[in-house]
Amino acid sequence: MSEPNQEIEFETHPDHYRHWRLEIEGATARLVWDVREDAPLRPGYVLKLNTYDLGVDIELADAVQRLRFEHPEVRAVAITSGKEKVFSAGANIHMLGSSSHSFKVNFCKFTNETRLAIEDACRNSGQRYLAACKGVTAGGGYELALACDEILLVDDGNSAVSLPEVPLLGVLPGTGGLTRIVDKRLVRRDLADVFCTLAEGVRGDRARRWRLVDHVAPRSRFQDLVDERLQALSQDLPRREGPGVNLLPLKAEIGSDRYAYRCLTVDLDRRERVATITLKGPEGPPPANAAALRAQGSDAYLFRIFRELDDAICRLRFNEEEIGLLLLKSAGDPEQVVAHDEALLSLAGEDWFAREILLSMARTLRRLDTTARSIFALVEPDSCFAGSLLEAALAADRTYALDDPERPLRMILSSVNLGACPMGHDLARLQVRLLHDVAAWDRLSGQVKAGEHPAFDAAGAVETGLVTIAADDIDYEDEVRVAIEERASLSPDALTGMEASLRFPGPENMETKVFGRLSAWQNWIFQRPNAVGEKGALKLYGRPERPSFDWRRT
């Protein structure tokens, strides 16, 4: 179980890393994985064999983000081990065995989001990653390697890659490994079946022939191979001109029932199991050009508010397990939000920093999409749900609007709503909202592309499909109150499954498969006696006793 009242912090800095070293060498970098055994996130287990817990992955997520913003000169990154005979034995099993069900599932989700951030950097930021696997590469260690563009393995008779969760632990790889080997690396299904039931894994040239790794070399030549592949990966990538931008601390004030950031607040009502997230609109005009945006740095409005939202989501996931409903509100001038959106988009075509801000916003919104909490958006006369902030409302499961003719609200579209911050399956949230009405999507996207910014009052928002229910000032509070009370009365397990099934209509891809399958299967497996019972495989790992299974299939 998580330690009572132990708040998990998600901000860190390379000066405070305990498990990673970030080494910059011109256009290349090395992320050295060297876990301190005696420095777990919480007491009760030892991080042997470069195993990782959430604290290790928080540092990795920070390093990946800093490489994108603070080191634009870096074009190729090698993830290597600081241990001589092990790359990583994966997630720490004793940590998982002693954690709550909610923590286990959110841990798997966070680690997958970190690996998706690596893939996003490879795809969109001109930074390529390789995994230099010198020694045992098992479970989550191999899953991290799978997120990289290339995997290199020492051919020494001992080094192997493996996904041993099924034969050893009675669970699944928690970070999308099963999906990545067949969808990303195109490993043949029958070979993947053999691989995933071999606890000892696959070594050397056999691993290369099965497409589990890209290159192998004897130990005497392995470092030369790493250097060669780093240089090869860094070639022909676009250069990102200009100095990096420091990621300054958010300096949130975290109280017992309130998170206070500069651009948003989170108010906790634990009795009702509700968290109200209020997004504040910009206080001034957008930067006039790339130099002005660079001068604002990590305090640029859109960058800051989405960094704050990302931190708040992570805190709620791990520190507030019983909060079941997120209420999204906003306050400010919607026209100003649109102005900031359009300014950022106008710069993103040529300026790497503007483009990275946009990619960071998209990752935060995708984290919101996959958060296993009900989400309602409340649109009121002083709201600024426009453009990029409207994306948060479009991520909600329902949207309620106050229809007051004397104080009409305004919901405004910007170019961001056309797919600049896509969902995990690469569709715009507005497009997903209008899958039933392709003509409306074509009309609205055409207007925005022509330089217009369609604006809607409550009635127009309902008619267009941006709002679920609009109520007048007499009925609005009761409508919202009843909806909140009803939601709080329903099974959180059923709601998690329902929301995960409803939020991603349209085509699937690797990312949505990973999250959908983890939501369904890992939630189920992590509660079954075969895994977590007193004689379950996860509970007995490392002990002499063998697990006892209920052999009935469902």
Structural domain includes residue 169: yes
Residues 15 and 21 sit within 8 Å (Cβ to Cβ): no
pLDDT confidence band for 4 (50 / 70 / 90): very low
Structural domain includes residue 240: no
Q: Do residues 336 and 229 both lie within one domain?
A: no
Count up the domains in the chain and report the number.
3
pLDDT confidence band for 412 (50 / 70 / 90): very high
Q: Do residues 204 and 178 both lie within one domain?
A: yes
Report CA torsion sign: 294, 296, 298, 300. negative
Structural domain includes residue 8: no
Mean pLDDT score of the chain, rounded to an integer? 95
pLDDT confidence band for 3 (50 / 70 / 90): very low
CA distance 48 to 382: 53
Q: Do residues 536 and 409 both lie within one domain?
A: no
pTM score of the predicted model: 0.95
The 3-class secondary structure across 100-147, one letter per residue, is CHHHHHHHHHHHHHHHHHHHHHHHHCCCEEEEEECCEEECHHHHHHHC
What is the spatial order of strands in the sheet that 160-162 belongs to?
A: 86-88, 136-138, 160-162, 202-203
Q: Do residues 227 and 143 both lie within one domain?
A: yes
Q: Do residues 222 and 263 both lie within one domain?
A: no
Residue 194 φ/ψ, nearest 5 degrees: -65, -50
pLDDT confidence band for 238 (50 / 70 / 90): confident
Structural domain includes residue 339: yes
Q: What is the mean pLDDT of residues 88-108?
A: 92
Q: Do residues 155 and 277 both lie within one domain?
A: no
pLDDT score for 504: 94
Kindly report the length of the chain: 554
Residues contacting 502, CB < 8 A, separation 6+: 397
Q: Do residues 456 and 520 both lie within one domain?
A: no
Written as six digits, the tokens of 551 are 């052999």
Residue 22 φ/ψ, nearest 5 degrees: -105, 115
Q: Please calculate the CA angle 87-92-94 and round it to the nearest 5 degrees.
A: 150
Residues 281 and 333 sit within 8 Å (Cβ to Cβ): yes
Structural domain includes residue 548: no
Q: Do residues 127 and 32 both lie within one domain?
A: yes
CA distance 82 to 103: 28
Q: What CA–CA distances, in Å, run from 39 to 19, 62, 185, 251, 336? A: 8, 18, 34, 24, 46
Q: What CA–CA distances, in Å, run from 4 to 19, 70, 103, 441? A: 24, 36, 13, 48
Q: Do residues 228 and 281 both lie within one domain?
A: no
Euclidean distance between the first and the last CA atom of the chain, given in angstroms as a whole number: 28
Q: 3-state DSSP call for residue 84?
A: coil
Of residues 251 and 174, more confidently modeled: 251
Instruction: Look at residues 498, 530, 549 and tell me which one is the last residue of a structural domain.
Output: 498
Q: Do residues 100 and 157 both lie within one domain?
A: yes
Residues 233 and 130 sit within 8 Å (Cβ to Cβ): yes
Q: Do residues 85 and 196 both lie within one domain?
A: yes
- What is the CATH classification number for the domain harbouring 316? 3.90.226.10
Structural domain includes residue 308: yes
Q: What CA–CA distances, in Å, run from 276 to 381, 384, 393? A: 17, 16, 13
CA distance 286 to 288: 6
Of residues 342 and 5, more confidently modeled: 342
Q: What is the mean pLDDT of residues 244-268?
A: 97
pLDDT score for 282: 98
- 297 burial class (0-12, 13-18, 19+ CB within 10 angstroms)? middle
User: Based on C-alpha coordinates, what's the Rg of the chain?
Assistant: 24
CA distance 403 to 469: 10
Residues 538 and 532 sit within 8 Å (Cβ to Cβ): yes
Q: Do residues 494 and 507 both lie within one domain?
A: no
- 235 burial class (0-12, 13-18, 19+ CB within 10 angstroms)? exposed
Q: Which domain holds residue 86?
A: 14-234
Structural domain includes residue 546: no
pLDDT tens string 511-554:
998 888 876 777 788 888 998 899 998 888 888 999 999 888 87
Structural domain includes residue 94: yes
